[in-house]
Amino acid sequence: MATVIVTMKIMPSSPDEDLESIKSAAAGLITEFGGAVGKVDVVPIAFGLKALVFMFAMDENKGGTEDVEKKISALAGVNSVQVTDVRRAVG
């Protein structure tokens, strides 16, 4: 089938959380799930709070991302995980 590009926003519990440790743990879980992390942005939200926005590619045959979302939201320091975009890759 096709490859899909998933955009996922990870919100930390507070502005004091270590984004680098969340980033590396989440990237490991995405890779373990079968995704290939392409880009990670740190996006300011408000009052010093910053979100991690991952873009990764995965095989469409894997189905949904619910399993990896649950694992990432169980990480220490993570408040919420939200898939904000899913698109089919062309080419």
pLDDT digits (tens, 9 = 90+) for 53-90: 999 999 999 889 999 999 999 999 999 999 999 999 87
φ/ψ region of 47 (left if φ > 0, alpha if ψ in -120 to 50, else beta) reads: left
Nearest to residue 72, comparing CAs of 88, 52, 86, 58?
52
Give mean pLDDT, residues 39-60.
96
Percent pLDDT > 90 in the chain is 91
More confidently predicted of 26 and 89: 26
Please give the pLDDT value at position 89: 87
Residues 6+ apart with CB under 8 A from 46: none
Which residue in this structure is represented by tokens 């979302």?
69
Report, at the CATH architecture level, how domain 3-88 is classified.
Answer: 2-Layer Sandwich (3.30)
Please give the pLDDT value at position 19: 97
